[in-house]
Structure 1
Amino acid sequence: MTNVRRGQAPPTLDRAAFHERFMQSFFDPAYQPEHAAIARIEEIAWQAYEQGRKAPRTVKAGPEFADPGYDLSVEWLDTRDKLLAAQAAWSTSPSRVLVVCSSSRNDGTCPGEVSKTWRLSTLACEVLEQGGIEADLLDLSRLASDFDRHIHPCKGCVGTAMPLCHWPCSCYPNHALGQTGDWMAEIYERWVKAHGVIVLTPVYWYQAASPLKLMIDRMVCADGGNPDPTSTHGKNVEMAKALELSGWDYPKHLAGRAYGVVVHGDVAGIEAVRRALCDWLDWMGLLEAGFEARIDRFINYYQPYATSHDALDADTAVQEEVRNVARAVANAVSELRAGRLKRPDAGLKPPRPK
């Protein structure tokens, strides 16, 4: 058994520091008349923090889990049950493609204008729907414009041991730390329901847009994640390490779906981002829908940001290329569901699974 290394985490907040942090949400003077009520709520929150009440509502796991008597979060169970239902219906449900718009920009927040990524995403959706395929537009810019919407960061459980990373993620919600409202509970279900995925993103500083990266990191549980948190008694590090070292099969929970990728930029970085996204999707066991389904393009190359939408209006070629991505993914979904498209490397056992 390998040693567990500890000593990095900072000490917990004392009562005064907790008060200062808690009250940041009530800076608006309009809250002042409710000072006494807020103080009572703060005391409850402090107790939850001090006692580490991550999952305040639980039920016994039951006979389908390794430890039937383990207390499982009712919130985690609700998400997990939705994923099981979605996967059970997947083979007979209408064809569906998840279209991921990854830009942070929309006209409901500081930029005051829609993103080019959203416009390209709607083009893809139109093509899919015209072809009789349901298009599910996941607009990640809502992280910036919706009230209290979050994709909390991945906590890196995989780096300790793969079985510590649960499918779906059990790190959130964490009521003791106020880490609630996690959008990923819904996003996991939308991925499971999909027969194909198209990811569209701008390039921000040579990287994918930050909302997309948040989602990608939290998708790690779909690639090798442990569907039974009772097998590790939640986040018991020693149990998880022992379980991985005894032999882990790294299940690919989303394998067999088709994908396409659209990356656009205005100066640099498009090829690297496109390759990184395709490598990620390949690794998770998704099937690329062909050369026409993986594109990286410059729009408004080295021109003022203020004219970028005008440049997209004029670039009818890139608009048609995005439509081709959608057509390719639609074709791949149809071929997959008919049993005519199969992975050439299906059945090969990797000598170094991870």
Structure 2
Amino acid sequence: MRHSLLATLSIALIACSGNAPVEGQAGETPPSAKPFRETVVADFVSPWALAFLPDERIVVTEKAGQMILLSADGKRRQTIATITVDAAGQGALMDVVPAPDFASSKRLYFSYSTAGEGGKGVVLARGRLRSDGQGGDRLGEIEALFRARPFVEGNGHYSGRIAFSPDGQSLFFTNGERQKFTPAQDPQATLGKVLRLTLDGKPAPGNPLVAKGFAPEVWSYGHRNLLGIAFDGEGRLWEQEMGPKGGDELNLIMPGRNYGWPKASNGSNYDGSDIPDHAPGDGYEPPKVWWNPVISPGGLMIYSGSLFPAWKGDAFIGGLSSQSLVRVDLDGQNAKKADQWPMGARIRDVEQGPDGAIWVIEDGGKSQGRLIRLTPR
């Protein structure tokens, strides 16, 4: 990278949201014409995330713990791993992302919820994709790299999204506040935080809050349920999270900053009691964009392809209770709402395909759990 990582970044299943303490309550979403065609490629059982390998095959995680490898045309599939997860409530086999050096290492990084001492929590793990000797593949050498601290009771707000730094030398991992509120401001808890780790899951050197007594992994804090994280083309780190009753957010993540939860939010508590809105001078980093009525944001992708040239550099967010695909116009460090297309199902994740097509995956449950490819009309 041209600058130090700190400098660059400085410029740089079921989840709780909406108008009730469980997912599924949607605000009205104004329909707009869809400028894309939708092609259904495959169907899954409560899928959670998808990722593309260099050879254009697709890895999909399912809530109950199955990791599935899909051929590029969607016609062949194989279960490459079954992970033991605690899938109650919002628990799941969650994100999956190929390592920056996947072409040589064959490593996949993934996250999942599990039970342990003190309750439950989210785990970051990795494995190596190898031939199974029978014409297929299998994920082996699986190892847990990092466990959220502390484990607590409950089944919500695990988060568990993964993004690699542009230089491929570190990994950013989201830990939700587990619907416990105060851990987001607790310096020693990793809950309610964006974490920066080495590729082996250790605290990355140079994290910004160590001298202030924070856990050495912490990059930013004061977050709620962080279900999307991605870098833009200039090395800026963006994150989206579910607010309480209103107040879903898209944030530009700056090292060491406090994003306010639960002391500041543009939403309200579920019992109707007020939470102070973000305000100048309150000491909290405000969102770049926020939604009320909510969209219930799922996965986050920042588009860099050529099939939709007008959208290059923009953020795309899957909408769960809003059953939508949301586009946010990014302009440097600024952002503004653009489009919100009704999709007729809860959208859990959104990714860019190798040819620049946009891919979305439905949440399953009441929807089909379909994998859909979007191309220009």
TM-score by length of 2: 0.22
Task: Judging by fraction of residues, say which structure has more strand.
Answer: 2
Query: Which has the larger share of helix?
Result: 1
Greater C-alpha Rg: 1
